[in-house]
Amino acid sequence: MDDATLRFEITRLGECHVPSPMRGVRFVGDDERVLYHARLEDLGPWLQAHAEPPAMEVAGPRERLLFDPSSIACGIVTCGGLCPGLNDVIRAIVLSLRYHYGVTRIHGFRYGYEGLVHRHGHAPLDLTPEAVARINELGGTVLGSSRGPQDPAEMVRTLKDLGIGILFTIGGDGTLRGAHAIVEEAGRQGLSLGVIGVPKTIDNDISFTQRTFGFATAVTEARWATYAANAEAEAARNGIGLVKLMGRDSGFIAAHTVLVNSQVNFCLIPEVRFSLERLLGDLSARLQHRGHAVILVAEGAGQDLVAPTGGKDASGNAKYGDIGLFLRDAISDHFRRTGTEISLKYIDPSYMIRSQPASPVDSAFCLLLGQHAVHAGMSGRTDMVVSFWNHEFTHVPIPLAVSARKKVDPLGALWSSVLASTGQARDLW
Ligand code: ATP
Ligand code: MG
């Protein structure tokens, strides 16, 4: 992205006059910043121009709050697909609101944005520390989730009726666009409502955050599928293990799963085009030399090869063709035609991975994300997400966070390491 368009200013609802009840912490100053560029060669032009380089606001507790903890009510909502750690983030927000600030009225909206629309009839849950005890040990989301558009005016009416001061939205790019629509509607109505997002993307494809929760768990769990694929492939003559993983537009999960061990021979991701002819040719050569092969394909890879479904989900996201099933059939057909007997095992662990509880590393990350979301909300910030950048938690405006997707760079270090690990040709096109 062009640096000139980088706008990291965070919207605030007003002046903060309420002293924070937190004790024994280092309060973060409102002028503390983390540089966007960590590399000197990127920063250099800014320093030469004496211009202020792009930088993100540092997250953390503020000494003065906008909201009075004794009177504020807060809401939490989870939307979109499942991702390990959703319950950890819910729990972290509840515990921080209650024990850092003393907030007692916390509503858990049911089934995504549906829960914010009165006529759907989903009464909110009363989220107390007792209600969220040990939910972090469970996969899924105790609040439920949904897709599909809801009217911002109706959602804001519900929030107004319940006296909500801060809404915490945990979800992906769609959820964040919905959150921004709520911010705009609240602004039109002159309502002092803070909306704070915790970005949820198992694919780790949201921009301006170097890490998202659930990604580490996904890679941790995905490795079992590659172990199984490899064991099956090695146990058979001309054995082929084919694994499909998450990754609609970005292949980070597949790429990192390759780096976990070196059993994968072909990694196929959305960012790198491949032709069926080249893949089948190199696969045949691999079988001739080694007698077995493991292929890892991200769900969004090779969409130019599969028949477009033309379908959309309830939220309007395009439904992708199934590249896993396509490759399974294409590989089987190819070797049948050439008279080569193979044994192909196809594994699609996606729903098993999405519904896992978070790994310890992700759980700790979720706890910190939730706490920083609460600190940001209590200090009157709005229309922002909590991000992780250059080893610090930061604030990023929602419009910037959803402005572009993060992708694997086919010429970058990650993809080079993947190619070195698989041994596949750089160009399969
Ligand atoms: P996932 O990564 O799992 O797809 P997501 O948050 O992107 O998560 P969506 O189903 O796309 O999931 O969106 C979640 C919610 O946000 C849905 O209720 C959807 O209608 C709403 N939403 C999506 N885009 C917008 C938008 N532009 N304006 C308002 N609401 C939106
Ligand atoms: Mg999405």
Token pair 């107004």 in the structure block, residue: 160
Residue with tokens 């969409």: 303
Domain that holds residue 312: 216-355+410-422
If you measure from the C-alpha of residue 199 to the centroid of ligand 2, how many angstroms do you get, rounded to a whole number? 10
What the block records as the tokens of 212 is: 């998202």
Which of ligand 1's atoms lies nearest the C-alpha of 317? 11
* CA atoms within 13 A of residue 407's CA, in its CB half-sphere: 15
* Average pLDDT taken over every residue of the chain: 96
Confidence grade of residue 31 (pLDDT, cut at 50, 70, 90): very high
Q: Is 105 annotated as a binding residue?
A: no
216-237 mean pLDDT = 97
pLDDT of 307: 85
| Residues 301 and 372 placed together within one structural domain of the fold | no
Residues 19 and 71 in one domain: yes
Query: Do the annotations mark residue 241 as ligand-binding?
Result: no
pLDDT level of residue 51 (50, 70, 90 thresholds)? confident
Q: Each residue of 377-388: pLDDT tens digit?
A: 999 999 999 999
Considering the domain boundaries, does residue 168 fall inside one?
yes
Contact yes or no for 373/171 (Cβ under 8 A): no
pLDDT tens-place string over residues 332-386? 999 999 999 999 999 999 999 999 999 999 999 999 999 999 999 999 999 999 9
Paired tokens of 278: 């080249």
Q: What is the pLDDT of residue 49?
A: 87
Q: What's the total number of domains in the chain?
A: 2
In a domain, 427, yes or no: no
The number of the ligand 1 atom at minimal distance from the alpha carbon of 173 is 7
In the sheet that holds 125-126, the strands lie side by side as 33-35, 55-58, 392-397, 384-389, 194-199, 164-171, 73-78, 105-108, 125-126
Q: What CATH number does the domain containing 137 carry? A: 3.40.50.450
The tokens of 272 are what?
Answer: 């790198």
Residue 172 vs residues 204, 334, 389: alpha-carbon distances, Å: 10, 39, 18
pLDDT per residue over 257-278, tens digit each? 999 988 999 999 999 999 999 9
Same-domain pairing of 80 and 190: yes
Angle (CA) 104-146-223 rounded to 5° is 100
**Stretch 269-294: mean pLDDT:** 98
Is residue 205, in this structure, part of any structural domain at all?
yes
pLDDT at 203 over 60: yes
**201 plus 333 within the same structural domain:** no
Model confidence, pTM: 0.97
Q: Are strands 164-171 and 194-199 parallel, antiparallel or unpaired?
A: parallel
Nearest-CA residue for atom 13 of ligand 1: 174
Percent of the chain with pLDDT over 70: 99
Q: What is the pLDDT of residue 120?
A: 96
The pLDDT assigned to 46 comes to 87
Kindly state the percentage of the chain with pLDDT values over 90.
Answer: 94
Distance 113 CA to ligand 1 centre (A): 9
Residues 135 and 228 in one domain: no
Whether 12 shows a pLDDT value over 90: the answer reads yes
The CATH code of the domain that includes 251 is 3.40.50.460
Q: Is 1 annotated as a binding residue?
A: no
pLDDT exceeds 90 at position 26: yes
Q: Is 102 in the pocket of ligand 1 (CB under 6 A)?
A: no
126 occurs within a structural domain: yes
Examine residue 428 and state whether it is found in any structural domain, yes or no. no
- Using a 6 Å cutoff on CB, does residue 147 contact ligand 1? yes
Write down the pLDDT at residue 218.
97
Task: Flag whether 102 is in a domain.
Answer: yes
Max Cα-Cα span within the chain: 78
* Residue 315 alpha carbon to ligand 2 centre in Å: 9
User: Is the same domain home to 181 and 240?
Assistant: no
What average pLDDT does this structure show over 38-43? 92
Assess whether the C-beta atom of 319 lies below 6 angstroms from ligand 1. no
